[in-house]
Amino acid sequence: MNEIRCIYCLNHFDSTDITKEDFWPVSWHINKKQNTPKWIVPACYRCNQAFSKLDGKLLQYFGLTLNPKQGTFTHIAQKAVRAFKPSSARDDDKDKRCRQNNLNNLMNNIVPAAKIPKESVLPTFEPTTQYKGADGVLIARDDIIKFGEKLVRGVIYYFYKQYIEKTHCIETFIGGEEIEDQKAYDVNAAIEEMKGFSQHLDKYLNGLHTVSVYDLSSRSDVVALGIWEQLKMLAFIQPR
């Protein structure tokens, strides 16, 4: 029997126990058109389930920040709002309870305008003062980083057929964050700079833009991610 490794936990599995994971989930696609290709990678059932929970949670929160009147985002924004409305539940109590829980968690994470951290605000995740007067919702940085690392493992497997082994770590930054001591070095500038490398790979799939520079012999590989051209992340893959 063939064995396949999961790109996330790196364990070996019988091929019948491996799932086909869309690392850029269809629910995040900004264009609902049929026939959009999928970026499929191998993942074990456990990792697939764990990430689909995380994807769902983040999509609801990010969805709330989108403008439903902006055509490409309408379906995502509306779906996010419904996820917090018990009255949108299908005719079953479990679904209703689930939406009520989402709403309770959301209310616990709302912060008044004065307490919104200035350094990182969606949609751009960069410093801003333009949301005066509006309440904010806190999203855990760890969740965003986990999601980013999942995308990076997906990109490296899908385009380079490589696993990121335990000998390496992924260090991820969110747009607007400082990269080490280089205060002037932001994620956007870094992405522009990466495009100058001859071996860079620039790929786009329905809302996810990736730019990568990957070469096993180098000390540090880089993957830049642009989600809906709004949330940008930069990940360095380095030997431990």
Residues near Zn ion (CB under 5 A): 6, 8-9, 44, 47
147/173 with CB nearer Zn ion: 147
Q: What burial letters (b/e) apply to 45-58, b meaning 16+ CB within 10 Å? A: eebbebbbeebebb
14/192 with CB nearer Zn ion: 14
Burial class of residue 175 in the structure, from the number of CB atoms within 10 Å of its CB (0-12 exposed, 13-18 middle, 19+ buried): buried
Least distance (Å) between residue 41 CB and Zn ion: 11
- Rounded to whole angstroms, the maximal C-alpha distance in the chain is 61
Least distance (Å) between residue 23 CB and Zn ion: 13
Least distance (Å) between residue 205 CB and Zn ion: 22
Least distance (Å) between residue 21 CB and Zn ion: 9
> Residue type for 90, please?
R
Least distance (Å) between residue 193 CB and Zn ion: 33
9/134 with CB nearer Zn ion: 9
Q: Name residue, tokens 């064995």.
A: 3
Least distance (Å) between residue 44 CB and Zn ion: 3
125/157 with CB nearer Zn ion: 157
Least distance (Å) between residue 167 CB and Zn ion: 18
47/222 with CB nearer Zn ion: 47
